[in-house]
Structure 1
Amino acid sequence: MPKAYWIARIDVQDPETYAKYVAGTAGPFAKYKARFLVRGGDFESLEGQARSRNVVIEFEDRETALACYHSPEYQAAKAFRVVASEGELMIVDGFEGPQPAA
């Protein structure tokens, strides 16, 4: 079963309230063994419309990624995010097939 990833692209309008979201996600992310691969950081937009914040979080599989998202703990934290920012969040399955040859 492939790993799964949350991919979030966010513009934060209210940093104080967004900080409450970040603090509130620590518990559910630890519980579901989330691992940050990208968390903010500098970026260069090459195509399409950019957002100011990009996040990629790795989970063991899609079931775990969805369980974290739907958990009461995450939903409580999410209440802060939706009033402090706008953006997109998706869950994407990882790829386990052959890689391009060099």
Structure 2
Amino acid sequence: MTAYLISDVGPVAPEDDAAWKAYLAMAPATIEKYGGRYLARGGAIDVIEGDWSPYAIVIAEFPDRDAVARWYASPEYAEGLAIRAKSGLHRRMICVEGATNSNPDNLLGLRA
């Protein structure tokens, strides 16, 4: 089942600009190698409800949650993790499985 990787990224401090550019240069190929593709990457954000104030959002679609896990643990993406570890870049990342049930009485599988 399709899975979505959602990342709330940034901001990038000026001293981390070179590291961030290196990350942006290498990350897309790693995502593609594991079957992923970008759906949104840093576009305009409108907060509709709540107190969430993201700086930049990245959404990537993968074939399934296992593909996301393989990508994140891959030797190809290890370089990206190393770049992030050395920089002050703040990021929150989640993986969400796509919906399989269109029954509104069982929205998002919250009921048994």
Using structure 1 for the length normalisation, give the TM-score. 0.86
Give the corresponding residue for 1:29: 31
RMSD of Structure 2 on Structure 1 (CA):
1.6
Please state if 1:93 is matched with 2:97: yes
Give the number of equivalent residue pairs.
99
> Which consecutive unaligned segments of at least 5 residues does structure 2 have?
105-112
Using structure 2 for the length normalisation, give the TM-score. 0.79
Pairing partner for 1:42 from 44, 47, 50: 44
Deviations 1:14-73 (A, max 9, x none): 332111111121331121121111100011123223121101100000111110011011
Q: Which runs of 4+ in 1 moved over 6 A?
A: none
Pairing partner for 2:63 from 60, 65, 68: 60
| Partners of 1:41 and 1:99 in 2: CA distance | 31
Q: % of aligned pairs identical?
A: 28
Question: 1:5, 1:91 within 8 Å by CA — same for their partners in 2?
Answer: yes
Query: Which has more radius of gyration?
Result: 2
After alignment, is 55-64 or 90-99 more displaced?
Answer: 90-99
Deviations 1:62-92 (A, max 9, x none): 1111100110111211222341410201111
Task: Give 1 or 2: higher strand fraction.
Answer: 1
| Partners of 2:11 and 2:78 in 1: CA distance | 18
> Which consecutive unaligned segments of at least 5 residues does structure 1 have?
none
